């Protein structure tokens, strides 16, 4: 199979950096050094994000990509992991809601795989702790890849001669479901991204951003309050606090209060299996993190997504209901949609149209340079829809009606590299000073 050029490059990086240890049996492998990383991703963070024993060796990565692209992992050979996470689209599918086997709509928007290795939890509701756990669940989801159970998956994989050979070579044994997930996770751990124009700006190139984009960055950290949940810094390069918030998205299209009340009753009376099924395959999916933790203060909460590559990974929000970043800004500008579980940090922002334009311009600077062409296409496509703004409500955003909190103060828009202010410094560990021996 012909590998895409980006993956070939990644594998070459792994080989050149000394990550590759596949010639040795798994039991003899040791923790690998980090590969060559882009400026927005620190080597220290990469090392702490890769569990010991789960290092992405070239052989694991190659097998993982093969599995990632293989539709034979689905019940009817029509859907692969790549169906919802296309590498050429920033590892998303560009649809509001993804489609699984038999053209079934899934309950949530497809999040990007890029930089997923840095996520504290996986999925919009955080129900998987590791990439390995995440890799298994879509294969077994009846709406996604539709396989009934792990045994059926592995019976099918063991019936494919090339995989029997591949797994023996990589893991030294016949295919297992755990090894399948390990290989897919290894491939996903190599999909890091951080070479954006913003990174060049932070590194000291003041001309990397336009005046509008710099104003957008100032608004991001000031009046727009984006950094409350999407702060970007050296130890958090994803622009995500990795926490869960109810920002009212699920409340703008249904009687959310009634839905939440029913959900609480089900959780109190239902069994684990029933609750898991509700989380994935019913209207109760809109209750988000609550169906994982069973805590009422998590009703309607979803994980703060990364803003890395946000320009090319729309539509936005857990349900893909916001088509453009202008729509996203409109949603926040009016303080979200009121509901009893709305995050306390939500408030009207009072952003003007030029300020929203600057914020959107800044967000498009977070796209990795390898997606420059797609980023420009998406910016043009979104800008063309600028006059179609279903979430826009200027009266609420400007405090002329409603009661959703105070309008945020204006930020200091003076142009200054945030790195100079300590917003985005180095994470290079301080040198270890040897202890002085006591005489």
Q: Which residues are catalytic?
A: 144
Phi and psi angles of residue 354, each rounded to the nearest 5 degrees, phi first: -60, -35
d(C-alpha 166, C-alpha 219), whole Å:
51
Whether 258 and 308 have beta carbons less than 8 Å apart is answered as no
d(C-alpha 422, C-alpha 233), whole Å:
9
| Interacting residues of 92 by C-beta distance below 8 A, sequence separation 6+ | 84, 85, 86, 110, 111, 112, 312, 313
* 3-state SS class at 322: strand
Whether 292 and 129 have beta carbons less than 8 Å apart is answered as no
Q: 151: how many CB neighbours lie within 10 A of its CB?
A: 10
Whether 270 and 277 have beta carbons less than 8 Å apart is answered as no
DSSP conformation class of 29: -
Residue at token pair 């006059």: 387
Whether 321 and 97 have beta carbons less than 8 Å apart is answered as no
DSSP 255-319: -HHHHHHHHHHHHHHS-HHHHHHHHHHSGGGGGBTHHHH--GGGTTBEE----TTGGGS-SBSTT
């Amino acid at each position: 199979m012909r590998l895409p050029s980006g993956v070939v490059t990644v594998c070459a990086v792994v080989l050149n950096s000394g990550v590759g240890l596949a010639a040795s049996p798994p039991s003899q492998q040791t923790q690998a050094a980090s590969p060559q990383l882009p400026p927005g991703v620190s080597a220290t963070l990469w090392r702490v994000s890769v569990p010991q024993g789960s290092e992405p060796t070239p052989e694991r990565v190659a097998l993982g990509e093969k599995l990632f692209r293989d539709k034979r992992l689905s019940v009817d050979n029509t859907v692969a992991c790549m169906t919802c996470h296309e590498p050429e689209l920033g590892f998303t599918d560009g649809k509001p809601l993804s489609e699984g086997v038999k053209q079934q709509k899934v309950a949530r928007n497809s999040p990007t795989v890029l930089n997923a290795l840095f996520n504290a939890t996986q999925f919009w509701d955080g129900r998987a702790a590791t990439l390995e756990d995440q890799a298994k669940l879509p294969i077994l989801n009846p709406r996604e890849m539709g396989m009934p159970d792990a045994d059926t998956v592995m019976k099918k994989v063991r019936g494919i001669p090339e995989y029997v050979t591949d797994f023996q070579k990589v893991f030294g044994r016949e295919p297992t479901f755990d090894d399948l997930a390990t290989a897919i996770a290894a491939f996903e751990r190599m999909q890091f991204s951080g070479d954006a124009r913003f990174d060049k700006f932070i590194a000291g190139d003041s001309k990397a951003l336009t005046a509008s984009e710099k104003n957008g960055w100032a608004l991001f950290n000031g009046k727009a309050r984006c950094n409350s949940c999407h702060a970007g810094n050296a130890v958090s390069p994803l622009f995500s606090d990795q926490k869960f918030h109810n920002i009212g998205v699920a409340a703008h299209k249904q009687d959310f209060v009634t839905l939440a009340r029913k959900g609480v009753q089900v959780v109190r009376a239902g069994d684990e299996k029933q609750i898991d099924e509700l989380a994935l395959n019913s209207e109760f999916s809109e209750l988000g993190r609550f169906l994982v933790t069973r805590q009422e203060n998590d009703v309607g909460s979803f994980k703060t997504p990364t803003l890395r590559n946000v320009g090319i990974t729309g539509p936005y929000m857990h349900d893909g209901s916001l088509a453009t970043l202008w729509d996203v800004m409109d949603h926040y500008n009016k303080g979200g949609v009121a509901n009893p579980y709305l995050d306390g940090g939500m408030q009207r922002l009072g952003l003007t149209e030029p300020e929203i334009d600057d914020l959107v311009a800044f967000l498009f600077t977070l796209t990795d340079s390898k997606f420059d062409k797609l980023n420009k296409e998406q910016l043009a496509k979104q800008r063309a829809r600028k006059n179609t703004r279903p979430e826009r409500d200027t009266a609420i955003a400007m405090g002329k009606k409603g009661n959703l909190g105070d309008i945020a103060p204006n930020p200091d828009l003076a142009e200054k590299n945030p790195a100079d202010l300590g917003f985005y410094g180095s994470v290079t560990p301080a040198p270890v000073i040897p202890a002085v021996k006591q005489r």
